[in-house]
Structure 1
Amino acid sequence: MAIFTSLPRTLTVLSALTMISACASSNTSEFNAPVGSFLDQGSFGNATMNNTLAQTGQIDLAVSLTERFAREVPNTVNFAFNSSTLDAASMSALDMQANWIRQFPEIRFRVYGHTDLVGSNAYNKTLGLKRAQAVVAYLSTRGISRSRLEAVVSYGKTQPLVYTQGPEVRNRRTVTEVSGFVESHPMVLNGEYASVIFREYITSGAPASTLSGTSGETTGG
């Protein structure tokens, strides 16, 4: 019974605090406002909360890092029709991938190969694998250990982005994703988190460079 009687009082206090915050926001600017005059809206504690959740296993770190990887660098490269050859745009994207990957030696990656819908299933399965292998080979020349490129997988023409029977460059792609961790206990955000962030900060200033691509072969999507 005490729980229910205290609930309205709690809601009243929260409402009052919200009104005070709104008045402060409307009557004074952030620049001129005294410290502490604005109520925290929740963002202040997010970093600590996320670290705690990660260390207690409540967040799938591989998923979180995959999402971050895709936000910060192009995780997809595209290919010419019936080709596994990396062009200049693909190599530029892979250079950015390699720069990101080098900052996190704790992480493993997997490369998925895809094709468009032109050609047979068997042929496109092979072609998709060649595309994934071309990406792995290139990343290895950029200083990424093959032991961290855990596997190359071909989906062939089974997962098109654009469903069309004709040639479609958006379907002719590879996708690089985080697949796991080098150590058996995947706790990147632990006591070594500061050193990881420092390493990321230092290596992020490394200048990009260019290198010739790899070649593929003929007939397929």
Structure 2
Amino acid sequence: MRRFWKTTAALSALTLSAACVPGDPVYRGFYMEAGTLDDPDFGSSIAHNAAIQSGEKQYRIDLASRFAAEVDTTVNFTFNSAQLGPEARETLDVQASWIRQFPEVRFKVYGHTDAVGSNDYNRQLGQRRANAVVAYLMSRGISRSRLEAVVSYGESQPLIVTDGRERRNRRTVTEVSGFIESHPTVIDGKYAAIVYREYVASGTAKTGLSSIKGSDFATEK
């Protein structure tokens, strides 16, 4: 019995020592300080907090909501095709017009497919569709540097869950992804001025018009 307990204790100690190595998350959680620089998510947390404190994240969300509300962000494709039809080009013309109003803002284009075909093929097809949208937006004067990334989800995120052909799943979606870091207006933290730029301009124009009318009336009197 004594030998049994000694063997069990030895095995337990060996298991514990094997588990408590520097790379083990439990070891790191107990024995390393919070926020240590070898934490791969630490930089992401800092960036997130900085964006919250500066207001950038909230304004990015506000701008993304406005884009989705004011513009059709989705274009659809025929089966097994990455060609843009007339309706898709018309939608992208409206997207490009909206995007040109905000030169400080970056966008992502996400490609999707229906479930017909293999996963690998559909990822490639989704990529081709996203590439086609990016190329068209560039032809309408949008800089490639502002189209931050082109992402393909293939068939993994269907709008309509079905194994068959479904046009609504064969799509791309354009979304606001962030601000251009080098832009001086953004660095100054004036995100609200970007988001509400045309509202301010329209209000200023009306104020100026009222002033002119007022002076005309004064002259006539």
Q: Give the TM-score category using the shorter length.
A: 0.5 to 0.7
2: CA distance, partners of 1:199 / 1:111: 29
Give the counterpart of 1:138 among 136, 139, 143.
136
TM-aligned CA deviation for residue 100 of structure 1: 0.2
Give the counterpart of 2:122 among 121, 124, 148.
Answer: 124
| 2: CA distance, partners of 1:89 / 1:75 | 13
Q: CA deviation at 1:65?
A: 1.2
CA-based RMSD of the aligned residues comes to 2.6
1:85 partner amino acid: Q
Query: Residues 73 and 173 of structure 2 are in contact (CA less than 8 Å); yes or no, is this contact kept in structure 1?
Result: yes
- CA contact 1:103–1:199 (8 Å) conserved in 2: no
Q: Which structure 2 residues correspond to residues 90-129 of structure 1 after superposition, within 5 A?
A: 90-129=88-127
Q: CA deviation at 1:71?
A: 0.6
Give the secondary structure class of the aligned counterpart of 2:168.
Answer: coil
User: Do 1:103 and 1:200's aligned partners in 2 also have CA atoms closer than 8 Å?
Assistant: no
Q: Which of structure 1's runs of 4+ aligned residues deviate more than 6 A?
A: 198-201
Cα pair 1:113 1:128 within 8 Å, conserved: yes
1:96/1:194 CA distance change after superposition, 3 Å: closer
Separation of aligned partners in 1, 2:167 and 2:154 = 14
Shift of 1:70: 0.8
Bigger RCO (CA 8 Å, 6+ sep): 1
Partner of 1:75: 73
1:148 equivalent in structure 2 = 146
**Structure 1 residues 56, 92: closer, same or farther in 2, change over 3 A?**
same
Q: CA deviation at 1:113?
A: 0.1
SS at match of 2:150: strand
Aligned to 1:170, what secondary structure does the other structure show? Answer: helix
Asked if structure 1 preserves the Cα contact closer than 8 Å seen for 2:56 and 2:191, the reply is no
Which residue, 60, 63, 69 being the options, matches 1:62?
Answer: 60
> Which structure 2 segments of 5+ residues have no match?
1-51, 203-221
Per the TM alignment, residue 183 of structure 1 is displaced from its structure 2 partner at its CA by 2.3
Q: Is the 8 A contact 1:106 1:188 kept in 2?
A: no
1:123-202 equivalences under 5 Å are 123-183=121-181, 185=186, 187-190=189-192, 192-193=193-194, 196-197=197-198
Alpha-carbon distance change, 114 to 199 in structure 1, aligned in 2, over 3 angstroms: farther
Answer yes or no: is the 8 Å Cα contact 1:55–1:189 preserved in 2: no
In structure 2, what residue type is equivalent to 1:109? F
Aligned residues: 148
Q: Is the 2:106–2:146 Cα contact (8 Å) retained in structure 1? A: yes
Query: TM-score normalised to the size of structure 1?
Result: 0.61
For the pair shown, the structure with the greater C-alpha radius of gyration is 2
Cα distance in 2 for residues equivalent to 1:155 and 1:85: 18
What is the distance in 2 between the residues matched to 1:151 and 1:194? 22
1:109–1:180 CA contact under 8 A, matched in 2: yes
Q: Distance in 1 between matches of 2:195 and 2:66?
A: 18
Post-superposition shift, 1:55? 8.0
Identity %: 59
